[in-house]
Chain A
Amino acid sequence: MIRREYIRSVLNVFAESPFRPLHMHAEKGGDAVRKLSESVEAYCKGDMVRVEELSREIDVIEHEADVIKQTIRSQLKSSIMLPVNANDLLDFLKPQDTIPDDAQDVAYWLLLRQCELPDVIRDGFLELMSRTAATVEMYETLVDQLSELLETSFGKKDVKQTLAIVPKVEELEHEVDIIETDLIKIIFKHEDVLGGAGVYHLTELVKSIGDIADKSEYAADRLRTMILRR
């Protein structure tokens, strides 16, 4: 039964802000990637128990992110007026949502196969993961700026400040790309030690981690579009 209060109010005009959950959602992506960093480290040390533990934790984070995403989508009825274009907002939510998704995939992939890594590959992995995490964290900084942007309702100065972060995300993603191609080359050079399955497993892993940085960069790009087209 609906509990009825003896109230007539102006509350109907105020809709739930999608920006707070949007920010929470971005943080979930960051959290998932931070957990993944730990997982990659544990994998390099051969601690598969920890890898499995972390994979379960990432599952939980990914699920929470999904719930937030669905909440945002269900709240954006056509009658809701936002300071930005609602379609642009959804266009940017989509790539942001793939960040925790991809982190979850990598965490699974780590579980599939344990292997003794040559030092050079292990260092490469740690480097790749740390640059990817840096990309995602830079992206989080970008989303952080949204609350300030809303406060000044998109003041020129703040828009400029926010948009200046986008190239930083792009730059980090570019670094990840370079590490990615180098690392794949190194993996193929160690074909004899790793074996066919090992090469396949590791190259897939490299590509999947790189994807996370790609998606952050893409989400940053959509965020810029949203701000510029409002």
Chain B
Amino acid sequence: MDLFDPVVIALIIAGLYMAWNIGANDLANAMGTSVGSGALSIKQVIVIAGVFEFAGAVFFGERVTSTIAKGIVPIDSIKLIEPHFVVIGMLAAILAAGFWITFATFYNLPVSTTHSIVGAVLGFGLMLAYNGVIGFADINWLVLAKIVGSWLVSPLLGAALAYIIFSIIRYFLLQQADNPYDIEKRFVTLQILTACFIAFAHGSNDVANAVGPLLAAMNTLGLTNSTVPIWVLAIGGFGMVLGLATWGYRVIETIGTKITELTPTRGFSAEFATASVVVLHSYSSLPISTTHTLVGSVIGVGLAGGLAAVDLSVIGKIIMSWIITVPVAAATSALIFTGLIGIGI
């Protein structure tokens, strides 16, 4: 098999589609907060996000990508049994995640691409175990538990950090100043830095959702020698930037015009907290949802008294989306895998 194998091409296209979705929605969400507070224009945001997202994906994306590729399902041992299963399974996983994300986005559900891809990869593994190719115990439950745990911890961590950051700004700057609006003006510049930081963080964590399965397939097919080749990450980075430029700007516009409450100090607190939490997880090889972490951070700013009104019903919606996404993505992925193998691909 070579790079021009139809399955490999399908994997690359599906990966690009996933990356496009991530760029169009998740990256746009992360960046929209900078536009909302008036720190940057939409054009500036797209340029900054493009550069730093790509950098984050290429230079810091390999850890999480490895986790998605081989951390959950023992790809290396399946490879020895039947390499074809890995390639088709990864295609099934990315297709399943892509379908679910498309559906959820169309119905404006706060679903995470990370949860979708983790569920989809798990679904493939469970299908193999069900068919007796591997044992159920071969699935890396410990890693999975850590990942799911991080989904719970990351928004809480975002909230705590944003609460602390905003409380410090509030106590030492806003409440000491004669005119708090001068402080806001100064934070406009700082927010440009956090916009870079959050784009980098997002790239480093979310690139895996698009190219993790592609990487697993490449490794299995022996198309790459190194563990995580730069060009695979670059495909993901490119797709995400493309998504932001072709569709994300609309999402940014929508968000930017609606969240005028998020002044530069508030925006800075929420973004800095989110980016820090996401980078920490990228470092720990844990795939998390940037968007959910951002929601947690915004709530943190609200808890510190920084926002006029926060709607906490979003917490319930996010928890529901966790509960639904993983089984749905897993089942779809298992079905697609069985179907593809069944028709002899």
Does B309 contact A16, Cβ atoms closer than 8 Å?
yes
Q: Indicate whether B11 reaches chain A with its CB closer than 8 angstroms.
A: no
Docked CA distance A152–B317 (Å): 30
- Kindly list chain B residues whose C-beta atoms are within 8 Å of the C-beta of A13: 295, 298-299, 310-311, 314
Question: Given the complex, which residues of B lie within 8 Å of A148, measured CB to CB?
Answer: 180
A154 contacts B25, C-beta separation under 8 Å: no
- A11 lies within 8 A of B305 (CB): no
Interface pair B304/A153, CB less than 8 Å apart: yes
The answer to whether A151 and B263 have CB atoms under 8 Å apart is: yes
| B298 x A14 contact (CB < 8 A) | yes
- The answer to whether B295 and A156 have CB atoms under 8 Å apart is no
| CB-nearest residue of chain A to B303 | A81
Whether the pair A12, B314 counts as a contact (CB closer than 8 A) is: yes
Chain A CB within 8 A of B131 CB = no
What residues on B are CB-neighbors of A75 within 8 Å? 309
Interface centre among A79, A157, A158 (most CB of B within 10 A): A79
Given A10-B291, A17-B308, A79 and B106 contact (CB-CB distance below 8 Å)? no
Asked if B311 and A80 make an inter-chain contact with CB atoms under 8 angstroms apart, the answer reads yes
Interface class of chain B by DSSP? helix
A229 interfacial by beta-carbon distance below 8 Å: no
Contact residues in B for A153 (Cβ distance below 8 Å): 170, 174, 304-306
A-contact 0/1 string along B101-138, CB 8 Å cutoff: 00011111111000000000000000000000000000
Q: Mark A119-156, 1 if CB is under 8 A from B, else 0.
A: 00000000000000000000000000000101111111
- With beta carbons under 8 angstroms apart, the residue of B24, B184, B295, B313 that contacts A10 is B295
Inter-chain CA distance A5–B247, complex, in Å, is: 11
Known: A7-B25, A7-B254, A155-B174. A80 touches B317 (CB 8 A): no
Q: Are B108 and A7 in contact (CB under 8 A)?
A: yes
Total A-B residue contacts, Cβ distance less than 8 Å: 128
Size class of the contact patch on chain A: 35 or more
Cross-chain contact A14 with B105 (CB below 8 angstroms): no
Contacts A9-B255, A152-B170, A153-B174 given; indicate if A14 touches B311 (C-beta within 8 A).
Answer: yes
Which chain B residue has the least Cβ–Cβ distance from A153? B305
Give every chain A residue within 8 A of B181 (Cβ-Cβ).
Answer: 151
The 0/1 profile, CB within 8 Å of B marked 1, for residues 2-30 of chain A is 00111111111111111110000000000
A82–B170 Cα gap in the complex (Å)?
Answer: 17
> In the complex, what distance in Å separates the CA atom of A16 from the CA atom of B259?
9
Tell whether, in the assembled complex, residue A6 and residue B105 are in contact, meaning their CB atoms are under 8 Å apart. yes
Q: B111 to A8, Cβ gap below 8 A?
A: yes
| Residues 272-308 (chain B) with a chain A CB within 8 angstroms | 291, 294-295, 298-299, 302-308
A interface residue numbers (CB < 8 A to B): 4-20, 75, 77, 79-83, 148, 150-158, 230
18 new A-B contacts at CB < 8 Å, known A82-B309, A148-B180: A5-B254, A6-B106, A8-B26, A9-B251, A13-B310, A14-B261, A15-B310, A75-B309, A77-B311, A79-B312, A79-B313, A81-B302, A151-B263, A152-B170, A153-B170, A153-B174, A155-B170, A157-B175
15 contacts between A and B (CB under 8 A): A6-B106, A7-B251, A8-B25, A8-B29, A17-B308, A19-B308, A75-B309, A79-B313, A81-B312, A83-B305, A83-B308, A150-B308, A151-B263, A154-B305, A156-B175
